Structure 1
Amino acid sequence: KAPQIPYHQTIIYEAHVKGMTVMNQELPAEIRGTYAGIAHPITINYLKSLGITALELMPVHHFINDHHLTEQGLSNYWGYNSIGFFAPDSRYSASGNAGEQVREFKDMVKELHRAGIEVILDVVYNHTAEGNQLGPTLSFKGIDNVEYYRLTEDGRYYMDYTGTGNTLNAHYPTVLRLMMDSLRYWVSEMHVDGFRFDLASTLARGLDEVNMLGAFFSVIHQDPIISQVKLIAEPWDIGEGGYQVGNFPPGWAEWNGKFRDCIRDYWRGEHSMLNEFALRFAGSPDLYQDDNRTPTASINLVTAHDGFTLHDLVSYNNKHNEANGENNNDGEDHNRSCNYGIEGPTEDPIIMEIRNQQKRNMLVSLMLSQGVPMLVAGDELGRTQNGNNNAYCQDNEISWLNWKNIDHELLDFTKKVINIRKTNPVFCRQKWFQGESIRESGIKDINWFLPDGMEMEDHNWNQDYAKSLGVFLNGEGIRGKSEIGERIIGKSFYIIFNAYHQMLAYKLPTENYGKHWQVVLNTTKAAPTEGSYFIAGDIVDVPGRSVIVLSSHKA
């Protein structure tokens, strides 16, 4: 039976079927890198111990390799080159390729469901593997080229909103039916729990411009099967007007690219970030609140399969994609990364510690913000791609998870912060913060503080040099109901974020916010140690580049 985990309790783990297990020596050799490898108890027990609730798999629809990659001895590792929208790729099957892959995929889903883990598929309905006018004719071009693809006025060339050579014609009835039949098949027959739509803005395009009331969305909302599963948009494409973060209709969640950019900028010390950081931490109400959506419309991420890993984000100023065979011209140039003094690996203990702190800081920012956090497989292990930020063609150790080289300290920390999120409802709100007093207490559901213990005022948000803030989350102001209709009440928390490179003294707020506080998380190895107690009005010395998380404690 499907776990049916509500969005506000969801923690997504983005992984590649092969890359997840192909190097795991604890698994039988014949199932490494396959659906069966993910279904194995060793893999599932790892996912359960980590605390994630949903496994988002990169494309499993059957795909083909690009000609220009095979000529260079490379291959399309990521799989965003679909040709069979009803077929699980047989290359990920340990049991055979004559239909056995279907059973193996179903068994994987069944085992994950048994463990309480949902399965979300990354699907590519915006283009196919047939490429542009120079690409192969494999299927749709030969069936009805004019109907399946968006063509230029003269019909000779393909409209390319995806950067892959072609764009499927999502507002044509035949193409729309293909997409809907495929989605229904994966829900009804393969029992997946949701989809992440690659370059989803493309699917919203009418004749040219993006239209969120277009045929694709209308049909999905009316479908009794597809409308009931998780629907997640990658809310951009490469066409004009394609960046649509915050603009998808109710019922959809979105990869929040603004969350990713803001968290990276804040922790690398950019100026004038406090206001946006607070918005992202609160679930991005500026993007989603006006459309009758909830905080869970925001899929929060710091990294994804494309771009730097978390480790590389704090280890490289520049991309290093030479292995891709394009003279380092591919991939994003503006990564909002920082190496803290040396490009790439270093034995310098000071730089190494700063990097480790920054990884922990970003993980805390990700896991304790309102919305739905998404962790990329391997970030909790300290995985590196050696500075490659576009490893789409690297079906090798650059992309695969290295289970022999694990940062156990980072893994333990990741498990701890995930557990804090899961066991405290104040971090998993179903409704927006109101900024209003709760009953007669006079205390708001959320409050922001200066180092002197006073509430922040409007002018404080715009001070360029300010890089720290305290935030109070009221455990009695959650405004949600449990599954049996009871009011949700949890612990209150006081969190201090300090992106400044030096220590700052923070005075805890007055006792009406909480008389007794206990440190439950410190992203540095300096004081205050976890378990330390403070009372209202005490001074907390907050180390540079750190987060201190305190929970209300009844003495």
Structure 2
Amino acid sequence: MSFPLHKNLKEGSPVERGATYDGAGVNFAVFSANASAVDVCLFSPDGKTETDRIRLPEYTDQVFHGWIPDLHPGQLYGLRVHGPYEPDAGHRFNANKLLLDPYARSHFGSLQWDPALFGYQLGHPDLDLSFDERDSAAFIPKCIISAPSDRNNKPLRTAWTDTVLYETHVKGFTKNHPDLPEELRGTYAGLAQKPVLEYIKKLGVTSIELLPVQSFVNDQYLVDKNLSNYWGYNTIGFFSPDTRYAADHADPTSEFRHMVNACHDAGLEVIMDVVYNHTAEGNELGPTLSFKGIDNASYYRLMPDNRRYYINDTGTGNTFNLTNLRAIQFVADSLRYWAEEMGVDGFRFDLGTILAREHEGFDPEAGFLRVCRQDPTLAQLKLIAEPWDIGPGGYQVGNFPPSWAEWNDQFRDTVRDFWRGDALAAALAPRLLGSPDLFNHSGRRAWASVNFITAHDGFTLKDCVTYNDKHNDANGEGGNDGSDDNRSSNYGVEGPTDNEEIVAVRWRQCRNMLATLFLSQGTPMLLAGDEFGRTQNGNNNAYCQDNDISWLDWNISSEGHALRDFSEKLMKIRKRFPILRRNRFLTEGYNEELDVKELTWVSANGQEMQQEEWQAAQCFGLILDGRAQPSGIKQRGADATLLLILNSWHDVVEFMLPDYQEKGWTLLIDTNQPDYEEKEQEVTLKDHKYIVTGRSVLLFYLEK
């Protein structure tokens, strides 16, 4: 196939990457430190026919660039990049492979697995050292030239201390929603509908954290099993919202932007779960879809002693090279795009340790983290790290710099252990205070600890109290996938049961863990559906289940409705009492001027906990005295004193409520009485013992 030289082609600009429309034509700019030439390939509206191939005429600062006249938004295109095919040197250029522009704002069509997608000949005895000459254009999505956006969608910037995260999936949350028309279920437009947003807002959360929505690939081994990468942690288009979640496949970008606007109008932030640690191109045996064919040696971390092979700190085959300046620039450009042009309020970074791993290991002053801290846009967003990966020194909880928050798996594990009787008060105490043992350094705040009981990866809350073991048969991996460390309990019967005593314990344990979550310092994160007892039938790794296993079932039981009401109550209480969500870490110091201690640990006798009691206590209390508030706080309820009691012991405990100068305590929460309604009267008297039910949480308060 030959193409004539394009008329009126100009050198264009290397400054703004990707395809930029200016009203008269389109400027293309593609970074590659090692390529010899870049062709822009234009396609017919159906994406099937390559109509033109234009070589970018200039190369400045390792950027190929050119301006092509008379191109308009909606035009389909792809890239072909020329250069050496030398896998042993880290180079995998193959101009027979059509490539996705990393900066493309949207994609047309979906990837179809075919041997032509691979830069080498599948089945060849030399494996990836061989070279494949087949054209892959018929099997890969096409990029779409987009019009510039207005950039007028501003983040809400909800204070961290007021933030409650709600992790959910665009499709799974609305796919079975009874109040939505069928054509909107499972889409961005569906999530933007009034019944959906009203439900989330009423619940009391402030920020919706979406599982990955950037364009991703369904792994071939899943497609072969008639499964899919439901969670979406296999990104290939870091500027493009995935089309499969769009009701209008012709314009997913506008639909996503409208969803963000609708969330903001409802007072809800949008946080994106993003996957910049790896791409969908896999290792040396993976396909050539974008970065691998544009500049493999720059975009990926390669083994220093044999650059044919990839460093695999992600477990997915490759690791994005965030020690490379241009790779850092690419990620920062992508993040700014989603914030400035799409309006999102922040990001949760999958396997975040990789973002800060320099050649010598994890570094809180790594280049990418420095970029985020100094960038005027990124520095004002919510940045949340998943602070671990499988690489050397991969576990880094508490070690990210100030301004970052982090998922705190130690909160999850300790709370689960405490309520099933495998952890004592001494282990739980720091988790209730925002984990100062992990985060109280370098000027960090208590909100840096993102507390959670469950997340997309693992059991749901209801399954934590229903199953001892994972039940992942539907995944087709013989039960070998998913963690065996579930820290769960079935309380006597594996799976559903009609035993009323076991059922009652399970629902109370759900309330206990939710109460622990929302009454602790730090930033709480709730997994969507946990508020009403959603189940995945014991599947703790439903990443490939795009079906009723993962989709929320809105046919909620009466017990589920009661749990949802209880969840709403907890979030209202958290909002009502500022001492439950302090910005700074609470201390046990004594304030002589006010004659108060900010926090006091008490045992069941109503007295301050003694050192020797910590080693055996399963029932204990925490007094939070709001009178010791920082100067300047005038919020209603800020001076209240709260008493939190937690009893993981299976039997009742007589708890002596501390004496506060003839004042009585008012009961707010008793997980043994989930429908208890607060009365404007004291429910206890001086020296009265309150009977604390086995496995329960209580909250009392005093108005000063």
Does the alignment reach a TM-score above 0.5?
A: yes
CA distance in 1, matches of 2:521, 2:630: 14
What residue in structure 2 maps to residue 67 of structure 1? Answer: 220
What count of residue pairs does the alignment treat as equivalent? Answer: 546
How far off is 1:461 after superposition?
Answer: 1.5
1:236 aligned to 2:388?
yes
Per the alignment, residue 394 of structure 1 pairs with 545
Percent identity between matched residues is 50
Q: Which segment drifts farther, 526-535 or 436-445?
A: 526-535
Cα distance in 1 for residues equivalent to 2:308 and 2:575? 54
The structure having more radius of gyration, on CA atoms, is: 2
From 433, 440, 447, give the equivalent of 1:282.
433
Secondary structure, counterpart of 1:551 in structure 2: strand
Runs ≥4 in structure 1, deviation > 3 angstroms? Answer: 438-441, 485-488, 525-532
Shift of residue 525, structure 1, vs aligned partner: 3.4
38 and 439 in structure 1: CA distance in 2 versus 1, 3 angstrom threshold? farther
The yes-or-no answer on 1:546 pairing with 2:684 is no
User: What per-residue deviation string (whole Å, max 9, x for no partner) do you get for residues 232-288 of structure 1?
Assistant: 0000001121010011111100000100011000100014x2112110001111011
- Correspondences of 1:303-382 after superposition (within 5 Å): 303-382=454-533
> Secondary structure of 1:102's partner?
helix
Q: Following the alignment from structure 1 to structure 2, what is the Cα–Cα distance between the partners of residues 536 and 389?
A: 48
Shift of 1:480: 5.8
In 2, the alpha carbon distance for the partners of 1:526 and 1:395 equals 34
Say whether 1:426 aligns with 2:426: no
Change (3 A) 1:528 1:405: closer
Number of the residue aligned with 2:60: none
Equivalent AA in structure 2 for residue 279 of structure 1: P
Q: Does 1:461 align with 2:614?
A: yes
| Alignment of 1:499 onto 2:648 | yes
Preserved contact between residue 647 and residue 695 of structure 2 (Cα < 8 Å): yes
SS in 2 for 1:521: strand
* Residue 190 of structure 1: aligned partner: 342
* Gap regions ≥5 residues in structure 2: 1-153
Distance 1:396 1:528, change over 3 A: closer
Give the alignment of 1:6-17 within 5 angstroms. Answer: 6-17=159-170
Counterpart Cα distance in 2 of 1:63 and 1:486:
45
Please tell me whether the aligned partners of residues 274 and 461 of structure 1 are also in contact (alpha carbons under 8 angstroms): yes
Q: Residue 535 of structure 1: SS of its match in structure 2? A: coil
Report how far residue 405 of structure 1 moved.
Answer: 3.0
Q: Tell me the residue number matched to 1:222.
A: 374
CA distance in 1, matches of 2:400, 2:233: 22
After the TM superposition, which of the residue ranges 122-131 and 454-463 deviates more from structure 2?
454-463
Q: Distance in 1 between matches of 2:472 and 2:550?
A: 12
Does 2:213 correspond to 1:56? no
CA distance in 1, matches of 2:632, 2:334: 36
Amino acid aligned to 2:545? Q
When residues 299 and 383 of structure 1 are mapped into structure 2, their CA distance, relative to the original with a 3 A threshold, is same
Correspondence for 2:242: 89
1:510 corresponding residue in structure 2? 659
Shift of 1:318: 0.6
- Secondary structure (helix, strand or coil) at the match of 1:476 reads helix
Equivalent residues in 2 for 1:475-486, closer than 5 Å? 475-479=626-630, 481-482=632-633
SS at match of 1:291: coil
Q: CA deviation at 1:391?
A: 0.4
**Alignment-mate amino acid for residue 518 of structure 1:** T
Higher strand share: 2
Give the conservation status (yes or no) of the 8 Å contact 1:274–1:468: yes
Q: CA deviation at 1:158?
A: 1.1
The structure whose residues are more often helix, as a share, is 1
Describe the superposition over 1:278-317 as per-residue Cα deviations: whole angstroms up to 9, x where unpaired. 1000111101112210100100000000000000000011
Tell me which of 325, 331, 353 is aligned to 1:179. Answer: 331
Q: What is aligned with 2:101?
A: none
TM-score by length of 2: 0.76
In 2: Cα distance, 1:299 partner to 1:401 partner: 23
CA contact (8 A) 1:14 1:55 kept: yes
Q: CA RMSD in A?
A: 1.7
What is the DSSP-based 3-state SS (H/G/I as helix, E as strand, rest coil) of the residue aligned with 2:497? Answer: coil
Find the counterpart in structure 2 of residue 536 from structure 1: 686
Return the match for 1:523 from 652, 671, 678: 671
Aligned partner of 1:199 among 327, 351, 355: 351
The answer to whether 1:164 aligns with 2:316 is yes
Q: CA deviation at 1:543?
A: 0.3
Q: 1:149 aligns with which of 295, 300, 303?
A: 300
Distance 1:156 1:2 in 2: 43
Sort the Cα spacing of 1:40 and 1:360 in 2 relative to 1 into closer, same or farther, 3 A.
Answer: same
More deviation, 350-359/518-527: 518-527
* CA distance in 1 between partners of 2:292 and 2:635 (Å): 56
Matches of 1:71 and 1:527 in 2, distance apart? 49
